[in-house]
Amino acid sequence: MISIIVPVYNVSEYLPRCVESLLGQSGGDFEVILVDDGSTDGSGTLCDSYAARDPRVRCVHKENGGLSSARNAGLDAAVGERVLFVDGDDYLAPFALERLTALAGAYPAADFIQFRYRETDGSWSGEDRENLPETASGPEELFRQLYVLGGVGASACTKLFRRELFRDLRFAEGLRHEDEELMTRLLPRCRRVVYTDLELYGYVTRPGSIIHSSFNPKSLDIFPIMDRRIETLQSLGMEDLVRESRSRLFRTAAWLYCQAKKAGFRREAATLKARILEGAASDLDLTGQYRILHSLARYIPIAPELYYLTRRLFGKT
């Protein structure tokens, strides 16, 4: 059985589409765990109404603690052999569980099954088709796949996990980028993963969503996560991915520095400037503006300020 964990916080406008997409699946044995994370817009009442109507739905109410806290509460309640995370404002393609159940049956030793998502305004309904899945084994192959896939590879919502993986593992609470932090700890304990390019998850973009909001000091959470990722890759001897990670860290620091300066976050801008100057001491794979910044920052401590002013001059920030 699959336990579908749905964190719910003030998404009453979107929750019916989410839950109906789960209850209307074309196949698969599953339970839906709705975790009301202290909603104040009636979402909690909606959760209770679904639990009263359908025996496959269970509802957990808790004080607001954030996305990671809600997912962890869902993991505590889950009883399925495998676990799937669906955010309360997103939804699944109607054939998603049928496809995932078939893959889980064909690859019973898989620690998780990786699939794709479609960014949508809510109008997407999925397109089923034939697919030839691929497999990878061991931490080194899995980290390489993570870097090939990018954002979809880091997301917790694009995977059907073996629940045993979470026996002593939980999402870090109070962090932004909690999915990337989790994957850094999870991949080293995985032995085999199945990859399919089927799009099974509808990721709904909406105003005010975390990923599309303006500068937030919590954005700096990514740096200790990336530091830990680099340490893990170094322990595996994957120097090419260490270099790629450091390059990504430098680009991220430069981009966030401009955002922090523009928004008037002086302390955060100072922290990001220090990250840029620190990164300038390493050999990185950079192009364009980032390569120029990297070269200047090696010799000129005010290079980040010059970079920001130049971008403002040309209307790029």
Whether the Cβ atoms of residue 241 and residue 140 lie closer than 8 Å to each other: no
109 Cβ contact list (under 8 Å, min separation 6): 191, 192
Three-state secondary structure call for residue 154: helix
Q: What's the pLDDT score for residue 198? A: 97
Q: What's the pLDDT score for residue 28? A: 85
Question: For residues 182 and 209, which has the higher predicted lDDT (pLDDT)?
Answer: 182
Q: pLDDT, tens digit, for every residue of 278-295?
A: 999 999 999 999 999 999
Which band of pLDDT confidence, cut at 50, 70 and 90, is reported for residue 207? low
Q: Is the per-residue pLDDT at 206 higher than 90?
A: no
Which band of pLDDT confidence, cut at 50, 70 and 90, is reported for residue 214? confident
Tokens of 57: 């739905």
Rounded Cα distance, 252 and 115, in Å: 26
Class of domain 2-211: alpha beta
CA angle 270, 273, 276 (to 5 degrees): 160
Q: How many residues does the chain have?
A: 317
Q: Is the per-residue pLDDT at 314 higher than 90?
A: no
- The 3-state secondary structure of 277-308, one letter per residue: HHHCCCCCCCCHHHHHHHHHHCCCCCHHHHHH
Q: What's the pLDDT score for residue 27? A: 87
Ordered by start, the domain boundaries in the chain are 2-211, 214-313
Which band of pLDDT confidence, cut at 50, 70 and 90, is reported for residue 128? very high
pLDDT averaged over every residue in the chain? 95
Tokens of 187: 């991949």
Q: pLDDT, tens digit, for every residue of 158-192?
A: 999 999 999 999 999 998 899 999 999 999 999 99
Mean pLDDT of 60-88: 98
Q: Is the per-residue pLDDT at 212 higher than 80?
A: no
94 Cβ contact list (under 8 Å, min separation 6): 21, 24, 25, 26, 125, 126
pTM of the model: 0.92
DSSP for 209-273?
-GGGS---GGGGGHHHHHHHHHHHHHHTT-HHHHHHHHHHHHHHHHHHHHHHHHHT-HHHHHHHH
Which band of pLDDT confidence, cut at 50, 70 and 90, is reported for residue 299? very high
Whether the Cβ atoms of residue 114 and residue 199 lie closer than 8 Å to each other: no
Q: What's the pLDDT score for residue 208? A: 52
Which band of pLDDT confidence, cut at 50, 70 and 90, is reported for residue 315? confident
Q: pLDDT, tens digit, for every residue of 247-282?
A: 999 999 999 999 999 999 999 999 999 999 999 999
